[in-house]
Structure 1
Amino acid sequence: MSRVPGALWRNLLAIQVYGANTGVGKTVASTLLAKHFAQRPEKWKVSYTKPVSTGPEDEEDERYLRRYASGVAVSTLFKYDEAVSPHLAAARSRRSIPSDDKVIQALYSHLQEDARLFSEQSSKRGGFTMVETAGGVLSPGPSGTPQADLYRPLRLPVLLVGDHRLGGISSTISAVESLLLRGYDIDAVVCFDDKGKYENFGYLGPYFEKQQIPAFRLPWIPDVEGRPIEEERAMMREYYDRSCTHSEVARTAEELLNRRDKRLDNLNSMAHRTRKTIWHPFTQHKSIKNDEEILVFDSAYGDYFQAKHTSKSSTSKDTNEPVLHPAFDGSASWWTQGLGHGNPKLSLAAAYAAGRYGHVMFAGATHDPALTLAESLIEGVQNPRLTKVFYSDNGSTAVEVGIKMALRAACKRYGWDGSTEEIGVIGLKGSYHGDTIGAMDASEPCVYNKKVDWYRGRGYWFDFPSVKMREGKWIVEAPAGMEEQFGPAKQFGDLNEIFDFDVRGSSQQYKNYIRETLDRLVKTEGKKFGALMMEPLILGAGGMLFVDPLFQRTLVEIVRSYTFSPATPTSTPADPHSWTGLPILFDEVFTGLYRLGRFTAASFLRTQPDISVNAKLLTGGLLPLSVTLASDSIFAAFLGDEKADALLHGHSYTAHPIGCHVANTSLTALERLSKGETWAQYRSSWVPASSAGGEVDSALRNQDERFGAWSMWTKSTVTRLSHHRRVDSVIALGSVLAVALKDEEGAGYTSNAAIGLRDALLNDIGEDGMSIHSRVLGNVLYLMASMTTEPVHLTAVEKALLEKLNKASVA
């Protein structure tokens, strides 16, 4: 997944020429446009680039352009002698096959050099460059990747040469749809006028006009087959000299120019228009002083946004500088991104489900995507308690559904009336479960909810010991002032030792603290509770707080054995998977589905919830979808003779087929990644070799457990960060890295300590043109990889993070 910028310059019009098929006249169209721009009165500088060429030297497109478009700079980046598909030509050559990144980097560097050269030369408008592909839109590149995917990181505007031959209508429309599916802008479709033989343009022109894609009919190519070489060349020279000024060629050129100018104008105005019309989430708009503070995204691909810095781009007079630059998506797009932006498999899955279903109502009905997803989730969590799946649209709603489930089950068993009695939840300090009112009420007062007028805060939230790395040592540390309850900080030589419950045993201090607190709340104060709610391991929105897993495990154990209603006799249920004490609800919206390296974060605790919530990574970051999984004993609480006894919750897009089908595709891809070489490489530096393979211990319910705890972020960098003079502590698990900076004022969540570092990562563009988009939670700056991020990209991010930390300007 290349981190090259999107290919857009002020002084260079770069167009990618795709063909609906091989043999449709891509090179002829390129030559016509090259000669047209070279002869325009604005004195354009023109170049032609063939990234990958196959075939004998005397048949090269590069030679063809030199012959018929004199004065045009011509180049080929990768050449292969055999006239076959690029993937075969590369495989059969004696050279190493260039990676997709190498091809893209070479092409971008070439275009950047064009922009530099053209800006130095005297030209009123700058330069025009054509990048001609090989074969059709989905013909493979040297590595085997389809060209439409290979070149997608650059997102060059497309000139598609349609197929004028028999069957060409179908192939041209298919090519357009393949490009649109991948997020390309098709600036124009051209098709050669075949003089009434098949008249493909007569159909394609109006067809694309309805889709607002301009189409143009180019002059027919002379029939030179069988003619002597000198006569052929003379005919073609006459054709190009005459046709390069043809009205349709001129109209095509004007359309390409106008579309480029409109794109630049739109990018330049977006920040200002946004300030006028958009109300952003989690934003104090009074602090936004000018347009330059709005980050403009043109597109995104893989792990990177293609972003326009208004602070740099709107004032720069250097026209050969790229308008866009790659910004690493360091928040994984608010924790949703799993399989990379612009993933073609997810896009195709969404298109298929949209075409098959659109959306269909779900109450009292079913469809294959929803059923398949439910069965896959139940199998994946490997929790015999969870048997039912309820669909909703986002994490907060799914949590609210889970709260309804738990409270109804508890009230029904204990004979409480939640409509007249205050029934609270038990949770952890610093937890946050979403922005719907019920989910907000399940968290203690904090910056997110305390000024919400309906917020009441119904429950009790335990303080807890936390896990962190400080000065190279993993420690479990009590909150300030609670050393008596939890004991002094404990050091561990390795992250996996913290999860070794067999060695750590049980903590009597934890048990005493939890029981004494519950006794005070339930027996002395008479409070009633309907659920224990927790985010397993890491509290995300609360500040990336890493809870001691032994404490969470102990809390579940005590709650399940505690008597919350003295008036109701405690009995052992016949079903060992029925809930006891209180229903246990795990909010895995952030921590689940491989975010921390495993299908379910609950497996780290070696315990099983009665209700589990998932969202975000469920669809790989493409669509909103969430699920609340529940046990039979929870489900049974809603069975009754009246409709009012049912769970009367839902929304119009419940289990929408598009989201469900994309989720099925996503889960299959995530499972494959979890077993692949890249993740094995990540694990190797964190997990001792003896525990990373071999037979799975029978005590491990989930095969992910044999790999222990590990991170995509390198152990050496995490350790270096923990020693840094400006860093208080660090955590790293799965794709998550969180750096807590020292804050003299101790302001916590309202701290500004991390803002300088965040801004430096974003605004100080590195030598490779890359910046890093990140988010802060008080004094904590966190970074997050997607599940497909490759080590080379994280290495660059780690390097930038360490460099920015060392700068005095952000101290």
Structure 2
Amino acid sequence: MSLLFKHLRIHQIFGANTDVGKTIISTALARASLAKADRVIYLKPVSSGPSEDADDGHVVKYTNLGNRRVQAECLYRLRDPVSPHLAAIREDATYNAPTDDTFINAISMSIQRQAQEVGKQTYMYVETAGGVHSPGISGTTQLDLYRRLFLPAILVGDSRLGGISATISAYESLLLRGYDIDAVILFKDSYYRNYEYLESYFKTRSIRTFAVDTPPEKHPDPTLNTSLTEEYYERIASQSSESDITPAVTHLDTCHQSRLATLDSLPRRTLDAIWWPFVQHKHVKSESDVSVIDSAFSDFFSVFRRRTPAKTTMSLLQSDFDGSASWWTQALGHGHPSLTLAAARASGRYGHVMFPEATHLPALELAEKLLQGPGRGWASRVFYSDDGSTGMEVALKMALRSVSARTGISREDSKRLGVLGLKGSYHGDTIGAMDACEEGVYTCDWHNAKGYWFDPPTVGIKDERVSITLPNGIDGTVLDPSSFRFESSAAIYDVEQRMGTELAQIYSKHITHTLQKLKAQGVTFGALVLEPLVMGAGGMIFVDPLFQRIMIDTIRSEDTSSSGWRGLPIIFDEVFVGLYRIGMESTGPLLGVLPDISVHAKILTGGNMPLAATLASDSIFQTFLGDSKADALLHGHSYTAHPIGCAVASETLKIIQELSTSESWITAKENWSQASGSSRIWSLWDRNFVMELSRMDVVKEVMSMGTVLVVKLKGEEGYVSTSAQALLSSLKVPEPQDSSRISPSPGGVPFGVHFRTLGDVAYFMTSLNTSPDVIRSLEDRIWRALQKHAVQDE
């Protein structure tokens, strides 16, 4: 969580290497700042080495100007003069080293305490230890450790031999993690003259470079050494000196004010220039309705909030949990360094390259991982495109051409082929993908729905019982009511066990009878298109898996061919549900059937960039082989298989595979398996919490799988309903901090929840690696928001 205040300017000081003079620069900046600010604070989060040599002591000693001095603080002191992680290991057995969260929270609390001085202009300098990648106490490198605070940076350059390279490398490391570098400062060594080169280098990158005189060598006489050092600081903090550091202080002030002004201007500029998706602009009444996201880290946004004069001690940046996983794309949290580095490496090595009849390692490695992952046992080829919607366009082309080739129908007749699917489906906003859905709020004037969509039975939890709700058109009155109720989610998703039930026979009869009627009417189809298990944009609809299984079996039973696809090609749109979003890599094994074509996107690149992969069986691929180019799959996108996206996706899949055996996932599976004895259906959301929600009067039903929690609320139904948004609106406002525990958000500050609703349905989504502490805190917030409404109704 980044902290930003009008009256408190904060800069974090990083070094290009160890022993480059960070503390000397910090002291000089602090001393010069005394002439401009009411208060100057120096913070050294961790110090290693003898206390008499501590950096905070040096700063205090040389910033005592009459009755004014810099306030200095050190949070963690370690005895050995080595890297903090090693010093912590060498401490005595009673030393309890802080976790990364505890360490960062301590810094955040220190900053917030300093912000309480109302009406006083304050400067604060937070000095790191060693170089940018030197480890912190836990061993996490400082760039990654401090990233969650996201303070604007000063880079102290290296003026020694090799210092140009070290400084540029440090700068690029900061840049790769998204830091704002407001200034580079280094000593003016007259022999190596690194400052001259670096000033030119950074000027082209719009970063100011400041050079100050090199400090005197340490004198063996302590008294004389103090005198020489004092003279040095007097000189470089004097406005009459060529090496005066005061212009750097002025520049840092300008950067701070510029950042405030830019953030303040963004709402108006946005309203004048941007057309948002899925937003009725007439309802955006003022600039306060615009969420200005300054940065994002892990599962949280830093959102700019204008403050009234009465709240000037509050940070202008509010921490908001990304409750929709940024439209279902986030898999590993924002700003994940491994994904950033994978993108940077591929960008530096390739940029984008033409793909037809070519290959490159990122595309090939990703294809092989997908074929051994969600495509294991059925897929033989991977076709790349831009996003989920275009991936579905590719899938539809594959399926419809395959049907045309097998049946021998004319090109004109093939244009009249429709698709079979489910009501509530959504496959994207390109025209072809919209044509594969029924008419609805997402479709456009040019859209022409082509097909038939079954109204599906749905699954939900109410009063701790998992039950099936049949739609109109499926008559289940002959069944015992117990046929629709299950003791656990695992039982309802045990498809093979349910295949011989009376309900399965009713489903089969209903589907077969409907298809016979459509055939008699002359309706022909080219594919069965399903969002397996959960239909996302249609309202987070959990479909009875038995119904989908019997749909597939019925379609395939009409064709007795022994090889290749049968009946109609089966397309799984796994853009939302795939790659563990709902707790499983792919839905086929649970349904007990495999598709002929499947589409993956969103989680595929960890939310870093667009990329889609359409997987196909060999029999589908063979359809497009022929002597004429016209027989080929003539479909493509300019950025097909772009190396950056492929490299990021490959790294994402690698990390997800590691997560699948992590302690947090194992614990979550145990939490759900206690009631059912099976861990096939599980969630990162606590089972007891989900069941308690299902008992609330205001809740119509609830469901949870994997990272997803869906709460359907009573009241006006449908996409245009505002009931869910209204009932949970209090989540957007950070709650006052409970003094008995620290918030699990970055920096330990209270957080709001940035979430979206689908009419009467509220859904919340975590990343695959969201910490249990964050999820427990979210559960508390959701519970209290709904409980508050229940109390008001009484």
Say whether the fold is shared (TM-score over 0.5): yes
Cα deviation 1:541-567 (Å, max 9, x = unaligned): 0000001111111111111112xxxxx
**Alignment coverage as a number of residue pairs:** 766
- Preserved CA contact (<8 Å) 2:307 2:316: no
What letter is aligned with 1:127?
A: T
Cα 1:527–1:486 shift into 2, 3 Å: farther
1:86 aligns with 2:84: yes
Structure 2 CA distance for partners of 1:401 and 1:316, relative to 1, 3 Å? farther
Query: 423, 426, 430: which is aligned to 1:429?
Result: 423
Pairing 1:698-709 to 2, within 5 Å after superposition: 707-709=679-681
- Cα offset, 1:803, TM superposition: 1.2
State how 1:335-734 maps to structure 2 within 5 Å.
Answer: 335-420=328-413, 421-449=415-443, 452-480=444-472, 482-484=474-476, 487=479, 488=481, 490-506=484-500, 507-522=504-519, 524-562=520-558, 570-573=559-562, 575=563, 578-688=564-674, 707-734=679-706
AA partner of residue 526 (structure 1)? G
Alignment deviations for residues 16-44 of structure 1 (CA, whole Å, 9 cap, x no partner) = 0000011000000000011111123xx43
Number of the residue aligned with 2:139: 144
Counterpart position of 2:71: 73
Deviations 1:407-454 (Å, cap 9, x if unpaired)?
A: 0101111122353451000001101000000000000111111xx121
Asked whether the 8 Å contact 2:164–2:194 carries over to 1, the reply is yes
Tell me if structure 1 keeps the 8 A contact 2:374–2:579. Answer: no
Secondary structure, aligned partner of 1:381: coil
- Pick aligned residue for 1:256 from 252, 256, 275: 252
CA distance in 2, matches of 1:474, 1:54: 57
Deviations 1:616-643 (A, max 9, x none): 0111110110000001111111112211
CA contact (8 A) 2:605 2:649 kept: yes
1:793 paired residue number: 774
Question: Is the CA contact 1:474–1:492 (under 8 Å) kept in the aligned structure 2?
Answer: yes
1:352 and 1:277 mapped to 2: Cα distance? 33
Displacement, 1:202?
1.2
1:466-513, Cα deviation, whole Å (9 max, x unpaired): 111101111112125644389556111111111223432331011101
Aligned letter for 2:32?
H
Identity of aligned residues (%): 46
Which runs of 5 or more structure 2 residues have no equivalent in the other structure?
A: 738-748
Q: Distance in 2 between matches of 1:505 and 1:413?
A: 30
Q: Secondary structure at the match of 1:22?
A: coil
Distance in 1 (CA, whole Å) between partners of 2:355 and 2:288 is 45
Counterpart check, 1:322 vs 2:315: yes
Distance in 1 between residues matched to 2:38 and 2:202, nearest whole Å: 29
Q: Distance in 2 between matches of 1:319 and 1:615?
A: 43
- In structure 2, do the counterparts of structure 1 residues 163 and 610 end up closer, same or farther at CA, with 3 Å as the change threshold? same
Question: Matches of 2:524 and 2:497 in 1, distance apart?
Answer: 35
Contact conserved, 1:486 with 1:509, CA < 8 A, in 2?
Answer: no
Alignment partner, residue 177 of structure 1: 172
What amino acid maps onto 2:319 in structure 1? P
TM-score, structure 2 as length reference: 0.94
Deviations 1:696-731 (A, max 9, x none): xxxxxxxxxxx3110010011111111112110001
1:137-286 aligned within 5 A: 137-194=132-189, 196-225=190-219, 227-245=220-238, 246=241, 248-286=244-282
Indicate the SS of the match to 1:518. helix
Asked if structure 1 preserves the Cα contact closer than 8 Å seen for 2:734 and 2:750, the reply is no
1:521 is aligned with what amino acid? L
RMSD: 1.6
Rounded Cα–Cα distance in structure 2 between residues aligned with 1:486 and 1:50: 74
* Cα distance in 1, alignment partners of residues 533 and 590 from structure 2: 8
CA contact (8 A) 2:490 2:680 kept: yes
Q: Distance in 1 between matches of 2:114 and 2:222?
A: 33
Matched, 1:779 2:760: yes
The letter of the residue matching 1:600 is S
Counterpart Cα distance in 1 of 2:222 and 2:472: 88
Q: 1:354 corresponds to which letter in structure 2? A: S
SS state of the match for residue 20, structure 2?
coil
Residue number in structure 1 paired with 2:742: none
AA aligned opposite 1:6: S
Structure 1 contact 712–734 (Cα < 8 Å) conserved: yes
Aligned residue among 764, 778, 784 for 1:803: 784
What letter matches 2:86 in structure 1? L
Among 762, 782, 795, the alignment partner of 2:732 is 762
Structure 2 CA distance for partners of 1:758 and 1:57, relative to 1, 3 Å: same
Letter paired with 1:91: I
- Mapped to 2, the partners of 1:187 and 1:779 lie a distance apart of 46
Equivalent residue, structure 2, for 1:293? 289
Separation (CA, whole Å) in 1 of partners of 2:231 and 2:446: 78
CA displacement, residues 226-251 of structure 1 (integer Å, 9 cap, x when unaligned): x3011000111111122112464111
Report the TM-score when normalising by structure 1: 0.92
Contact 2:159 2:194 in 1 (8 A): yes
1:323–1:356 distance in 2 versus 1, CA, 3 Å: same
Distance in 2, Cα, partners of 1:572 & 1:651: 34
The alignment partner of 1:806 has SS state of helix
- 1:268–1:314 contact (8 Å) kept in structure 2: no
Q: Secondary structure at the match of 2:245?
A: helix
Conservation of the 8 A alpha-carbon contact between 1:758 and 1:776: no
